[in-house]
Structure 1
Amino acid sequence: MNAFTGQTFQMHQIINIKEVIQFTSISRAKLYEMINVNSKYYDPTFPQPIRLSESRIGWSALEVNQWIEAKLEQRLE
């Protein structure tokens, strides 16, 4: 089950990179560039990953959703 079920949003869910890619339509490489402070494509508004274990990271579904909502609002300006 993913974080977005129809119109329902589960606020406290951690999602993996495949789900972030699916929800944002951003490639894995571009996503890592967007969170890399040293990249020219760095986006400080994009949610930073959460370290879940030594070898695993995830993203807050809520934060990713908020980022998408902000992008939609910018489109209307």
Structure 2
Amino acid sequence: MPDTNPYQKQRYESTGFVGEQIHQTRDYQIIRRPEVERLTGLSRSTIYAKMDPDSLYFDPEWPKKVSLGRRSVGWYRHEIIEWVESRTTSAAREA
């Protein structure tokens, strides 16, 4: 498959089934807060609380923001998706 987007890298990950693999594309697209809210199901205040080390809801594993300007930030889409997937995996292990 030709590399059509210079901001994408490809990787293979095992699904846990013997011999089965899923082809995933890591997308380095930067998304804004409304999309982060949609992907995570978190509110604006919770997102910023997860970034604040003084907050009770601080999460050191929360993806780092990317500065887009003086008053504008975004997040890498693949990092948000990986964070959501890590929560799904840890919740399944605890059950």
- TM bin, normalised by shorter chain, reads 0.7 to 0.9
Higher relative CO (Cα under 8 Å, sequence separation at least 6) belongs to 1
Ranges in structure 1 where 5+ consecutive residues have no aligned partner: 1-7
Pick from 52, 55, 65: which aligns with 1:39?
A: 55
For this pair of structures, how many residues does the alignment match? 70
TM-score after normalising by structure 2: 0.69
The 1-side partners of 2:37 and 2:25 are apart by 17
Aligned to 2:31: 15
Q: Which runs of 5+ in 2 are unaligned?
A: 1-23
Larger Rg: 2
Show structure 1 runs of 4+ deviating over 2 A. none
* 2:27 counterpart SS class: coil
CA distance in 2, matches of 1:65, 1:9: 12
**TM-score, normalisation: structure 1:** 0.84
Q: Which has the higher strand share?
A: 2
Which residue of the partner structure matches residue 21 of structure 2? none
SS in 2 for 1:72: helix
Q: Percent identity?
A: 29
Equivalent position amino acid for 2:30 in 1: I
1:26 aligns with 2:45: no
| Larger helix fraction of residues | 1
Cα displacement (A) at 1:10: 5.9
